[in-house]
């Protein structure tokens, strides 16, 4: 009994040892648990078709639509101003007067000279007309005498000498008539009258220059002198600007200007807040010799005078419209050092694949895709930088982004 019990105990002990060793061996031969694949959180958008615009933006300086810096043609003291800075004026309105007593006297003198020349011309004309009339009568009488004697001579009623005498008398009468006709042209008297008329017109113009009138509708923006002062030669005494519209003048590169045409839709804004609609009115046909850029003018209405000439503004011009273009957000585009572009497309399995694309129009926040992508494909907009091809991603769009990404 004791021997049998001892054997059973040994057998159980051996079994336990074998089990333990087997367990260790089995444990060592089993593989370690696989580490979970990392998932990158990204935001996405759906490639969709829509109208996209190519816009050209630049900084510009504002100018009035029209401006007149009025410089007097007469150098004399200012007699009186009729406007102040800020006065609204219209075309032809009197703005100021220049002292003109000497010019008024000169006008009176020239009026007298013109009247004398006119009287002399009229007298000469009347006298010449009488001389011409008398010479014409004498010529007609001499012609009749000659014709009559020539007829009698052919009939043998008179001698040939009588005919020759009549011929000589006719020649003299014709010469007298020609002289009277030339004198009737009144060259000398007419020249004096023309000269007097020109002097009178000059005196009237000089006197007229002392009345400063506005050539345009607008607002007086400068009036630097006071009554009694004599402005320096070439100095403007009144500046009038038409501020009902302004012109933003921008300098663009040749490539940008090449895309623009007169009439293109544009906007003009200041401080990124006030935005006014406008249009292209000038695309310069020549380059600026200093900057080799092209000057472009954008005109916009200026209600309330919000846009101030001389200030800086931002312009944006719509160069092209492309309808039904395939569009993605600009942040989805990845650019390589060699100039190629690509996007990260998220498949239905949640794997992101780098896909080469060709881009077209850039419209600030959006880019046209010309090839490499199809409508409805989901592209990574945030988190794509450094994301390896084939990475597992999790889309974490906000509600608004989710609606956009779903195409709604």
Task: Profile the chain (408 residues) by mean pLDDT over runs of 10 residues.
Answer: 39 39 43 63 93 90 96 94 96 96 91 85 71 78 85 84 84 80 62 85 92 96 95 95 96 91 92 84 91 94 89 91 92 91 93 93 88 94 88 78 49
218 and 264 co-located in one domain: no
The pLDDT value given to residue 148: 83
Residue pair 95/227 in contact (Cβ under 8 Å)? The answer is: no
Question: What residues make up the domain containing 397?
Answer: 43-51+323-405
Structural domain contains residue 26: no
Do 228 and 89 belong together in one domain? yes
348 and 313 in one domain?
no
On whether residue 150 sits in a domain, the answer given is yes
Regarding whether 195 and 112 lie in a shared domain, the answer is yes
Check: CB of residue 288 under 8 Å from CB of residue 295.
yes
Choose among 68, 381, 71: nearest CA to 242.
68
- Based on the domain organization, do 122 and 195 belong to the same domain? yes
Query: Does residue 30 lie in a domain region?
Result: no
For residue 152, give every residue at least 6 positions away whose Cβ sits within 8 Å of its Cβ, in sequence order, or none: 158, 162
Q: Are residues 267 and 333 in the same domain?
A: no
200-209 b/e with 16+ CB inside 10 Å = b?
Answer: beebeebbee
Claim to verify: residue 217 and residue 90 sit in the same structural domain: yes
Assign residue 217 a region: left if phi > 0, alpha if psi is -120 to 50, beta otherwise?
beta
Domain boundary among the residues 284, 303, 321 is at 321
Give the pLDDT confidence score for residue 399 in this predicted structure.
Answer: 54
263 and 186 inside one domain: no
Is residue 37 in a domain? Answer: no
| Burial class for 257, CB neighbours closer than 10 Å (0-12, 13-18, 19+) | buried
Q: Are residues 317 and 248 in the same domain?
A: yes
- Same structural domain, 164 and 223: no
Q: Which residues, 6+ apart, have CB-to-CB distance to 271 below 8 Å?
A: none
Q: Same domain for 203 and 330? A: no
Instruction: Give the integer Cα–Cα distance in Å for 336 and 96.
Output: 67
Give the C-alpha distances (Å, rounded to integers) separating 227 from 90, 230, 237: 22, 9, 10
Please tell me the pTM assigned to this model. Answer: 0.61
* Torsion, CA 214, CA 218, CA 219, CA 221, rounded to 10: -70
Rounded Cα distance, 98 and 86, in Å: 21
Beta strands in 71-184 (DSSP E): 78-81, 88-89, 94-98
Task: Give residue 46's pLDDT.
Answer: 95
Same domain, 354 and 401: yes
Q: How many domains does the chain have?
A: 4
pLDDT of residue 370: 93
| SS3 category, 218 | strand
Is 36 domain-assigned? Answer: no
CA distance 162 to 146: 9
- Of 300, 321, 342, the position where a domain reaches its end is 321
């Amino acid at each position: 009994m004791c021997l049998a019990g001892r054997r059973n105990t040994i057998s159980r002990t051996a079994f336990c040892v074998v089990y333990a060793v087997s367990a260790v061996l089995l444990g060592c031969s089993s593989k370690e648990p696989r580490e979970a694949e990392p998932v990158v959180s990204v935001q996405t958008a759906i490639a969709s078709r829509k109208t996209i615009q190519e816009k050209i933006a630049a900084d510009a300086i504002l100018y009035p639509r029209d401006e007149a810096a009025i410089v007097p043609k007469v150098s004399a003291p200012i007699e009186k101003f009729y406007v102040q800075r800020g006065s609204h004026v219209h075309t032809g309105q009197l703005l100021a007067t220049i002292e003109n007593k000497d010019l008024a006297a000169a006008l009176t003198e020239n009026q007298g000279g013109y009247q004398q020349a006119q009287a002399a011309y009229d007298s000469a004309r009347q006298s010449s007309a009488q001389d011409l009339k008398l010479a014409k009568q004498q010529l007609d009488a001499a012609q009749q005498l000659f014709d009559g004697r020539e007829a009698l001579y052919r009939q043998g009623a008179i001698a040939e000498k009588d005919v020759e005498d009549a011929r000589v008398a006719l020649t003299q009468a014709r010469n007298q008539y020609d002289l009277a006709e030339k004198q009737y042209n009144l060259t000398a008297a007419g020249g004096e009258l023309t000269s007097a008329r020109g002097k009178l017109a000059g005196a009237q113009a000089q006197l007229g220059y002392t009345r400063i009138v506005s050539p345009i509708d607008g607002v007086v923006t400068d009036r630097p002198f006071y009554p009694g002062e004599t402005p320096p030669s070439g100095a403007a005494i009144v500046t009038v600007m038409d501020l009902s519209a302004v012109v933003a003048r921008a300098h663009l590169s040749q490539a940008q200007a090449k895309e623009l045409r007169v009439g293109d839709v544009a906007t003009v804004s200041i401080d990124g807040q006030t935005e006014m609609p406008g249009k292209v009115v000038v695309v310069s046909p020549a380059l600026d010799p200093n900057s080799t850029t092209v000057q472009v003018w954008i005109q916009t209405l200026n209600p309330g005078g919000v846009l101030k000439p001389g200030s800086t503004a931002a312009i944006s011009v719509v160069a092209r419209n492309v309808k039904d273009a395939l569009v993605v957000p600009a942040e989805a585009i990845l650019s390589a050092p060699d100039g190629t572009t690509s996007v990260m497309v998220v498949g239905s399995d949640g794997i992101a694949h780098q896909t080469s694309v060709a881009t077209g129009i850039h419209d600030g926040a959006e880019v046209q895709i010309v090839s490499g992508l199809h409508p409805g494909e989901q592209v990574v907009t945030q988190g794509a930088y450094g994301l390896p091809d084939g990475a597992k991603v999790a889309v974490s769009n906000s509600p608004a982004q989710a609606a956009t990404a779903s195409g709604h």
